Amino acid sequence: MKIDLLYEQIPKPHDERSEYRAYWEAIEQIELADRMGFSTAWAVEHHFLTEFAHSSAPEVFLAAVAQRTQRIRVGHAVTVLPYPFNHPIHVAERIGALDIVSNGHVEFGTGRSSAYEQEGFEVAPDETREMWQEALEIIPRMWSTEEFSHEGKYFRIPRRNVVPKPIQKPHPPIWVAATSPESWEIAGRNGIGVLGMTLFVSVPQIAERVQVYKRALVGCRPAGAFVNEQTSVFTVVHCADSADAAVRDFGTQGAVDYLTYAFKVFSGGLSREATTGAPWRPTKELTQAYPLLPKMMRGEVTYEELDAADMVIVGDVAKCVRKLERYAQTGVDRVLCLMQFGRIPHANVLRSIELFGEHVIPRFVS
């Protein structure tokens, strides 16, 4: 099982240097991760999420990362494909350029974004999956031919040569963010990798989704030129020299805060609050599906409850290894670790990465 890093968050409170510090600290962290044996550094495209993510141009950040690292791959996860977030020509061009400047180290992740972000770009919510599917199928064709044209429902492109081309042949591996069981099946049918989550998903549920994905791969119609049959999940991770140190580093409280806000984003709650001006109240269906949700919305959920459900990984080396072993047993190929989160000081994030490289990664990566 490969161990990766993922970047997206800048929590409040902010000051005029918050973004500057977060970007440059992330680059320093990835430089260390490159030396410590992490496989890929992923950056997520988000918009308007001031407590959650200030990562609106991952290709710029990842290009800088690529100039300061040697081995680690760079994952653009996700590139939001519905229009007018991004036109597929622009996506093909930017990923092609990023693959060149990274010396062929790009992993190409895709997704549809959240309702709150879609509304800001006037994206039709009911059409995002169809838009994503159409863009997903034509971008690899732009990379593989000099005489590309397309007539579809959402995109009509006359004969053009889309440049630059990626240097990975036939093209970089393709992935999709999966926030629901249905997304895992759709990924399998398209023959692309899965970027899943542990957000309110138990370890047994992850194992079930891996099996759904693998069944869908049988007889799949690959969106690209080859099948990328990898699965992954991401979670918040902080490794410290002791359990007490992990708490002092704000790892446990940061995990609670992150999951609370993240669920509001991905469930559509942030969008409903912006529209109605009233506090979001989850539906009966959501509370039945996620029993911890009502407590979380009241600010009463504890780290211990999240920890017991294996939704977070915070602790010393031994605990982190135990948690990752449970993920490995589900059959996932990668775990994406969000280590720069909450109020954890930069020096302590570096120590977490160092501990992983020295003691955790060797247990999983041969």
Tens of pLDDT along the chain (366 residues) come to 999 999 987 766 778 898 999 999 999 999 999 999 999 999 999 988 887 788 899 999 999 999 999 999 999 989 999 999 999 999 999 999 999 999 999 999 999 988 888 889 999 989 999 999 999 999 999 999 999 999 999 999 999 999 999 999 999 999 999 988 899 999 999 999 999 988 778 899 999 999 999 999 998 999 999 999 999 999 999 999 999 999 999 999 888 888 877 776 666 666 666 666 666 666 676 666 666 777 766 767 788 888 988 889 999 999 999 999 999 999 999 999 999 998 899 999 999 999 999 999 999 986
Q: Tokens 């010393």 — which residue?
A: 316
pTM of structure: 0.91
Cα-trace Rg, the chain: 20
Residue 120, burial from CB neighbour count under 10 angstroms (0-12, 13-18, 19+): middle
**Of 40, 29, 35, 25, nearest in space to 234 by CA:** 40
At a CB cut-off of 8 Å and minimum separation 6, what does 46 contact?
A: 8, 52, 53, 54, 55, 56, 113, 117
**Of 310, 312, 301, 302, nearest in space to 338 by CA:** 312
Dihedral sign computed on CA atoms, order 310, 314, 316, 317: positive
All structural domains of the chain: 2-260+310-364 (3.20.20.30)
What is the torsion angle, in degrees rounded to the nearest 10, for the CA atoms of residue 203, residue 265, residue 278 and residue 11? 100
| Alpha carbons 252 and 327: distance in angstroms, whole number | 20
At a CB cut-off of 8 Å and minimum separation 6, what does 152 contact?
A: 134, 138
